[in-house]
Amino acid sequence: MNETAAPPLLIDIRNVAKSYRRGGQIVPVLTDITLEVRKGDFLGLMGPSGSGKSTLLNLIAGIDKPDAGEILFDGVDITRLSETELADWRAGTVGFIFQFYNLIPVLTAFENVELPLTLTRLTRRERREHVEAALELVGLSDRMTHYPSELSGGQQQRVAIARAIIADPRLIVADEPTGDLDRHSAEEVLTLMDRLNTDLGKTIVMVTHDRRAADQAHAIMYLDKGELSTAADVHERSLR
């Protein structure tokens, strides 16, 4: 067996804790989580409802902050960034795929995908080229002028995937991406995500309840009662 150098570390989560206040009580959600994700990994996070999967995903994606610990992304501790810095960081670094697609209903598929690019300095023409390429990639070139309400669930999720990759992010986070889809659409979406990982080299962290979805990942980690119950070797699984 050939020895291959491990891909560099992209996300280094150290002793992260997070709790929420509910009705005057503090409810711990994550306790002392330590996790490493390397470039090109496809990590599945599984666990029962309320186990803290989405909370961990939100912390990794920089849309929430931990109570304690560090989250180093490519060496930068994102927990120390201000809200404005985090917004800029997210815009350039992270692509998001949500369970319910979270498309803007008054914008067409094209405009939804174009949205993140309006924050860049790209010209209108360059934006158009990028959007067309992204929609081509997800197989929706013929649905560019359609509004979300005119698309099926699977098609909406593919538009959301196109939006997630349009700014060429280094990390894609997906929160139950197949949770609202039928089996056929779910398979299409998972195939697409696999292509993003294998063909485009995107690092993906995916939260899911769906065992079939988790099987697409190179590594699966289980969260239960705020703790990572199994620390699988992500890199070793990815080499298999």
Partner 1 sequence: MQFLKLVLRNALRHRLRTVLTLLGLVVAILSFGLLQTVVDAWYAGAAGAAPTRLVTRNAVSLVFHLPLSYRDQIRAVDGVRAVSHATWFAGIYQDPKNFFPQFAIEPRTYFAMYPEYLVIPEEFTAFLRDRKGAVIGRKIADTYHLTVGDALPLRGTIYQGTWEFTVRAIYDGIDTKTDTSQMFFHWEYLNETMKKRAGRQTDQVGVYLVDVTDIDRVAEVSRAIDALFKNSLAETLTETERAFQIGFVKQTEALVIAIRIVSYVVIVIILAVMANTMAMTARERLSEYATLKVLGFSPGYVAALIVGESVAIAVIGAAAGITLTFPVADWFAAKVGTIFPVFEVSGETVVLQIVCAIGVGMIAAAVPGRRAATVKIVEGLRTVG
Q: Is 133 in the site for partner 1 (CB under 8 A)?
A: no
Q: Is 106 in the site for partner 1 (CB under 8 A)?
A: yes
Total site size for partner 1, rule CB under 8 A: 25
Considering only CA atoms, which of 209, 203, 230, 224 is closest in space to residue 12?
203
**Region of 8-16, 44-52, 85-93, 193-201 interacting with partner 1 (CB under 8 A):** 85-93
Which residue from 41, 114, 176, 188 is in contact with partner 1, where contact means CB under 8 A?
114
The CA-based diameter of the chain, rounded to the nearest angstrom, is 56
Q: Is 27 in the site for partner 1 (CB under 8 A)?
A: no
Number of other CB atoms surrounding residue 123 within 10 Å: 9
Q: Which is nearer to partner 1, 2 or 82 (CB)?
A: 82
List the x/- string, 147-166, binding to partner 1 by CB under 8 A: ----------------x---
Q: Give me the residues paired with residue 19 across strands.
A: 28
Q: Is 58 in the site for partner 1 (CB under 8 A)?
A: yes
**Region of 70-78, 109-117, 148-156, 197-205 interacting with partner 1 (CB under 8 A):** 109-117
Q: Is 72 in the site for partner 1 (CB under 8 A)?
A: no
Non-local (6+) Cβ contacts of 189 within 8 A are 154, 157, 158, 161, 177, 178, 181
Q: Which is nearer to partner 1, 20 or 139 (CB)?
A: 20
Which residue from 28, 70, 98, 209 is in contact with partner 1, where contact means CB under 8 A?
98
Q: What is the per-residue burial (b if ≥16 Cβ within 10 Å, else e) of 148-187?
A: beebebbbbbbbbbbbbbbbebbbbbbbbbbbbbeeebbb
Per-residue CA distances from 90 to 61, 81, 82, 133, 209 (Å): 7, 11, 12, 22, 25
Q: Record the tokens describing residue 1, joined without a space.
A: 């067996």
- Provide the minimum distance between the beta carbon of 119 and partner 1 in the complex, in angstroms, as a whole number: 5
Q: Which is nearer to partner 1, 40 or 148 (CB)?
A: 148
Is the CB of residue 97 less than 8 Å from the CB of residue 164?
Answer: yes
Q: Is 84 in the site for partner 1 (CB under 8 A)?
A: yes
Is the CB of residue 226 less than 8 Å from the CB of residue 29?
Answer: yes
Q: Is 231 in the site for partner 1 (CB under 8 A)?
A: no
Which residue from 72, 107, 133, 232 is in contact with partner 1, where contact means CB under 8 A?
107
List of residues contacting partner 1 (CB under 8 A) = 58, 61, 63-64, 83-84, 87-88, 90-92, 96, 98, 102, 104-107, 111, 114-116, 118-119, 163
